[in-house]
Structure 1
């Protein structure tokens, strides 16, 4: 099969629910969430031309191997991408793909002119990876805690997840964490942000892993990932993801105002995602109370099992009583565990604070971004206090 043949048929991943519900809060499994990996701060090393020497200084075969797969994986993704006009010019291009690519460029322009997101080469190119996820993230917690394990890197800072371009590598990392006594979770990610560091080599591309999303979700994906190029705190996953989620919510709400048909379909989708988010938030709160209590570990394990069973029962009730049997989240709930619940919260828990901050800045995008950048430079504890207070 030639490259031209491949581009005519955008692969709609068969494993579309590979726990992608974590990107940007709780994405529907159309093959969301989004989203991020330790690579985000690795690109400055590439830009400086210091890859080999820097990796050698980091020490340890494991670190070398991790950075090597991150660099080669990202570069292979960038090399696979071609300018959207070039793809659109192909005869016999799949009509649905053509429509979605055109829509993506309209959304990209809108992100610049109306949301004042970065005007650069990101999302101006398209790549079909012929797989269901861009990367696979690994997260982990102690069995009786919602505290995510973090991985820290020189220059890059710390993050509560570790990303791999091969699913087998992610599963191997999860197995190692389990052997260490942690509870791991692996989930596929349709997109991630290089924080703008790869714009000099073509930018973050549009991918087959999300290009077929319905209009509202495609807009969320693009707005969310571009927001990561505006502000990023090295040591605060919840701050970064909640900020990007707030931007996507504000941006899509504005985008949809002039599109009543798309808005109607999107509202149903968002309502169901919001209901699931509320269900999971209640579960996290119950678990947090249990884990912090003085009962024995055996009682905590038993209580944890009951809480997860209740969440699944509540989900089944939603499907039966309100959703007419819609089972879009089934596979995600089947694999739900403590680290999955913990990372999902990082996409949503601080969103109300960012929405209030946007209002306090007069709903002015430039002022809002400037304030978020200021907060990102603060120590984490001070950052959280000021964000909660409205900046």
Structure 2
């Protein structure tokens, strides 16, 4: 039996009737009814599955491990609002078991010779660089159709997403697989989307939330009297991200050349092989053979697989510099982020590049 707070029960009753109709009206007939139908039904299923975390914790019939995770999650949730100044609402004070390992599967698409994502536009979120499916088979079907059109495609499972404060987002079973600290970072990341979100700029939004997640986690560990996370692990990830970003830069230069398709295809493949070779050198010379990224690097490679690195990591150094200039004060930092978000997109990117420059030069 689903146990919801009265406000959530009322909201679900209203949304069951109105949400699909309103969503289709917003689309103005421009999109596939079947695709947006699965979005509406998937979101409604998620809303109906919610129950208060406090109810799950107090229920002796609940799994003991689940109850322990949820207790820890609420400490992180309190920290997010009280210390990181993230929204204080009912998001992540609810729990939903969705019965699958990921809440959605995102499909990333690029042309064969471009790193520009194929964007998809939605009424609430604006334009984003991926398309989400609540069913893995549907995501794979879309990926197959895109490949038939000659596009580069990547499909990735997503543990959590934000409705940007439109609904009270729950902790889901998909968020619990990597331990309490990973759960805390997801809460910080998704609440950051509620705190600041700029329509039609995925790189800005994801890099901002990634920075809040990383800095928030550092402060969360300090608040609990824990030592900083392993510097070795952090440095390895930074080096790996830089390796991928350098590959992106080389590919962008390659795709700007006036080459015929077959020579372009050969040079593209050579760049991916160079990335793998550089990775092996990095792994064996500096990481003592640590194979943590082997599975990713050795999988079939294309442009779309590189997209998340550009989206989630590109402007993290810029936001780190902005946080430093804000004196480490979250309220001042968010105000500065909001000012950036109000700039026209070209001015915004120029400002982010200027902020990132000290990070790149070590100054």
Q: Does the TM-score normalized on the shorter chain lie above 0.5?
A: yes
Secondary structure in 2 matching 1:254: helix
CA pair 229-73 structure 1, distance change in 2 beyond 3 A:
same
Alignment of 1:325-340 (within 5 A): 326-333=290-297, 334-340=299-305
Residues 1:347 and 2:316 aligned together: no
Match of 1:305 among 234, 245, 269: 269
Q: Distance in 2 between matches of 1:87 and 1:375?
A: 41
Give the superposition deviation at 1:335.
4.0
Residues 1:109 and 2:74 aligned together: no
| Higher relative helix content | 2
Contact 2:2-2:49 within 8 A present in 1 as well: no
Which residue of 2 is the match for residue 226 of structure 1?
191
Match of 2:326 among 352, 358, 361: 361
Q: Distance in 2 between matches of 1:316 and 1:204?
A: 40
CA pair 106-96 structure 1, distance change in 2 beyond 3 A:
same
* CA deviations over 1:74-126 (Å, ceiling 9, x no partner): 12112212211111123254443232211111000000111000000111112
Contact 2:2-2:51 within 8 A present in 1 as well: no
Residues 1:256 and 2:221 aligned together: yes
Q: Distance in 1 between matches of 2:75 and 2:224?
A: 13
Q: Distance in 2 between matches of 1:239 and 1:46?
A: 30
Residues 1:147 and 2:116 aligned together: yes
Residues 1:174 and 2:174 aligned together: no
Which residue of 2 is the match for residue 35 of structure 1?
none
Residues 1:240 and 2:205 aligned together: yes
Which residue of 2 is the match for residue 195 of structure 1?
164
TM-score normalized by the length of structure 1 = 0.80
Secondary structure in 1 matching 2:79: helix
Q: Distance in 1 between matches of 2:65 and 2:354?
A: 46
Alignment of 1:250-289 (within 5 A): 250-259=215-224, 263-264=228-229, 266-289=230-253
* CA deviations over 1:266-313 (Å, ceiling 9, x no partner): 545433322321221121122122112344332221111112122223
Give RMSD over aligned pairs: 2.9
Contact 1:100-1:212 within 8 A present in 2 as well: no
Give the superposition deviation at 1:194.
0.5
Give the superposition deviation at 1:185.
1.1
- Relative contact order: is structure 1 or structure 2 higher (C-alpha 8 Å, sep ≥ 6)? 1
Give the superposition deviation at 1:320.
4.3
CA pair 128-152 structure 1, distance change in 2 beyond 3 A:
same
Contact 2:208-2:316 within 8 A present in 1 as well: yes
Contact 1:360-1:390 within 8 A present in 2 as well: no
TM-score normalized by the length of structure 2 = 0.86
Q: Distance in 2 between matches of 1:79 and 1:72?
A: 10
Give the superposition deviation at 1:137.
0.4
Contact 1:150-1:160 within 8 A present in 2 as well: yes
Residues 1:314 and 2:314 aligned together: no
CA pair 359-320 structure 1, distance change in 2 beyond 3 A:
closer
* CA deviations over 1:196-245 (Å, ceiling 9, x no partner): 110xxxx1111111223234322221111100001111111000000101
Gaps of 5+ in 1: 5-42
Match of 2:95 among 126, 141, 145: 126
Contact 1:235-1:380 within 8 A present in 2 as well: no
Give the superposition deviation at 1:383.
1.8
Secondary structure in 1 matching 2:86: coil
* CA deviations over 1:309-355 (Å, ceiling 9, x no partner): 22223334455455555444343331442111023211011111111
Instruction: Name the stretch that deviates more: 121-130 or 46-55.
Output: 46-55
CA pair 129-268 structure 1, distance change in 2 beyond 3 A:
farther
Give the superposition deviation at 1:54.
5.0
Give the superposition deviation at 1:156.
4.0
Instruction: Name the stretch that deviates more: 304-313 or 45-54.
Output: 45-54
Equivalent pairs counted in the alignment come to 346
